[in-house]
Amino acid sequence: MNTKNLGFNSKLIHGGDFEDALGSATVPIYQTSTFAFKNADHGAACFAGESDGFIYTRIGNPTIGALESQIADLESGFGGIAVSSGMAAVTTIYMGILGQGAHIVSSAAVYGPSRVVMEQHFSRFGVESTYVNSENIEEVRNAIRPNTKLIFIETPANPTMGITDIEAVCKIAKEHGILVAVDNTFCSPYLQKPLDLGADIVFHSMTKFLNGHADIVAGIIVAKEETIYKKLRTMMINMGCNMDPHQAYMVIRGLKTLGIRIDRAQENAIKVANFLENHPKIEWVKYPGLTSHPQFELAKKQMNGPGCMISFELKGGVEAGKILQNNVHLAILAVSLGGVETLIQHPASMTHSKMDKDSREKAGITDGLVRFAVGIENVEDIIADLDQALSKI
Ligand code: LCS
């Protein structure tokens, strides 16, 4: 079925370039590592790229391919590269685009390991990095060097909820012939389409909203153009960070409800953010749907909704935050986000603990910051849970 002209939610159900020979209504799991060739010439033609046949699951697999084509279409890209985790997406992009002597400019506030892997490991191979507050476009411009090959941004940023102007960054990058990669994990293509705003590469931890059920770890990269797609696909194949067919099946299944899951969680998040902002024990709340967010207007312009992630700090900082974490009952005290369940975590001691304190502080990740991922439960229950836990402080 040609799904090109369907709406977003219809594409979630019917998208993906896959037609089953036996008419299966859902994409089956091709749980195989290898594929039989029709004969020796066919095998050679597959390896030479002269035939479309499947060869070996690390190189390609029908279940994984269905997911890749579906997400590439949702992100308006040329092609998708499914990988074993969000971090596999990050390292595949770094490996594919950067080389010895290359330089990367990145948002300072990114998922901790995206920065740690660059500063502690890629630096050993001669890759230089500069971390800037990408909410300030001049800081991005000023960090560019003659050897800058990639601008890497995450927006909204994990966990500060800072917003980077994707279009403005891409404009600067184009002037210098630099590629832009955007981590779209916090939004999904339902809320934000970086390739339409000028980015070259978009990627996700599909562990989060795209799968949506907190039961697998997975990642995907989508490139806007064929040359970058081919380069990154080859890197994924050679590094061996491919996805497993069962993982792909789980994401295809979870993806069908992406729109209604986000609609519901976002509706809840707006109410939770308002509750927190008006609570006397809260010092500050950062949520793109609140007019108090410093980039409220930018968020409205580049996102289709404020999303489901909130960061806040309590009066009483770290200690008060601990009491809150220890007293919630409905919200699960756990890292990750984007599932149907509400989660709470403390970035400075959990997701961002491997970043040094100085870098954390410069990135706006204060020791007292608490991150709240809003799920699809009844919002009255989420708020009542927070209210009773706050009363313990
Ligand atoms: N990018 C972002 C924005 C993320 O939040 C994460 C994981 C990753 C990349 C890496 O993805 P993974 O390899 O885990 O699939 N974020 C997590 C978090 O905030 N809590 O636990 C994991």
Is the CB of 155 within 6 Å of ligand 1? Answer: no
pLDDT at position 1 over 80: no
- Residue nearest atom 18 of ligand 1, based on CA coordinates: 336
Distance between CA atoms of 292 and 272, rounded to whole angstroms?
Answer: 15
**pLDDT-derived band at 4, boundaries 50, 70, 90:** confident
Which residue minimizes the CA distance to atom 11 of ligand 1? 86
Q: Could you confirm whether 354 is annotated as catalytic?
A: no
Place 126 in a pLDDT band, splitting at 50, 70 and 90.
very high
User: What is the position in ligand 1's atom list of the atom closest to the CA of 185?
Assistant: 3
| Dist. CA 358–CA 266, nearest whole Å | 33
> For 48-111, where are the alpha helices, taking DSSP H only?
62-74, 86-97
Q: Which of 107, 114, 185 to mutate to test the pocket of ligand 1 (most atoms within 8 A of CB)?
A: 185
Beta strands in the chain (DSSP E): 79-83, 103-107, 128-132, 148-154, 179-183, 201-205, 219-223, 282-286, 309-314, 332-333, 343-345, 369-373
pLDDT digit string, tens, across residues 35-62: 999 999 999 999 999 998 999 999 999 9
The dihedral sign for the CA sequence 73, 79, 83, 86: negative
Q: Taking residues 290-297, what's their average pLDDT? A: 98
Question: Is 385 part of the annotated catalytic residue set?
Answer: no
* pLDDT tens per residue across span 55-86: 999 999 999 999 999 999 999 999 999 999 99
**Domain spans of the chain?**
8-30+61-255, 258-390
Catalytic residue among 30, 111, 131, 287: 111
Query: 192-232 pLDDT, tens per residue?
Result: 999 999 999 999 999 999 999 999 999 999 999 999 999 99
- Cα of 112 from ligand 1 centre, angstroms: 8
258-390 — its CATH code?
3.90.1150.10
**Average pLDDT of span 252-262:** 98
Region 119-133: what's the mean pLDDT? 97
Active site residue 17: no
Q: What is the pLDDT of residues 176-194, one digit of tens each?
A: 999 999 999 999 999 999 9
| Ligand 1 atom 12: residue of nearest CA | 86
Pocket mutation for ligand 1, best pick of 84, 158, 206 (most atoms within 8 Å of C-beta):
158
Contact 302, 165 (CB under 8 A): yes
Residue 134: pLDDT band (50, 70, 90) is very high
Residue 52: predicted pLDDT? 87
Is the pLDDT at 239 greater than 80, yes or no?
Answer: yes
Q: What is the mean pLDDT of residues 308-322?
A: 94
Instruction: Indicate which residue's Cα is closest to atom 16 of ligand 1.
Output: 336
Closest-lying ligand 1 atom to the alpha carbon of residue 208: 15
pLDDT digits (tens, 9 = 90+) for 344-371: 999 999 999 998 899 999 999 999 999 9
Q: Residue 280: what pLDDT?
A: 97
> What length is written for the chain?
393
Among the CATH numbers 3.40.640.10, 3.40.50.12280, 3.40.50.300, 1.10.3720.10, which is that of 8-30+61-255? 3.40.640.10
Pocket flag, ligand 1, residue 86 (CB < 6 Å)? yes
**CA-wise closest residue to 264 among 339, 332, 194:** 339
Find out whether the beta carbon of 84 lies less than 6 Å from any atom of ligand 1.
Answer: no
pLDDT at 198: 98
Whether 30 is catalytic is no
Contacts of 27 (CB under 8 A, 6+ apart): 16, 18, 20, 62, 63, 66, 67, 249, 252
Query: What is the predicted pLDDT for the residue at 2?
Result: 80
Mean pLDDT (whole number) for 274-285: 97
Number of neighbours of residue 258 by Cβ within 10 angstroms = 23
Ligand 1: centre distance to CA 47 (Å)? 34
Taking residues 316-344, report their average pLDDT. 96
> If pLDDT is split at 50, 70 and 90, which confidence band does 313 have?
very high
Could you tell me the pLDDT band of residue 175, with boundaries at 50, 70 and 90?
very high
pLDDT at 166: 98
CA distance 155 to 134: 9
Residue 351 Cβ inside 6 Å of ligand 1? The answer reads yes
CA of 13 to the centre of ligand 1 (A): 25
Place of tokens 């770290």: 318
pLDDT of residue 3: 85
pLDDT, position 342 = 98
What's the rounded mean pLDDT across residues 156-176? Answer: 97
Q: Is the CB of 153 under 6 A from ligand 1?
A: no
Give yes or no for residue 295 CB within 6 A of ligand 1: no
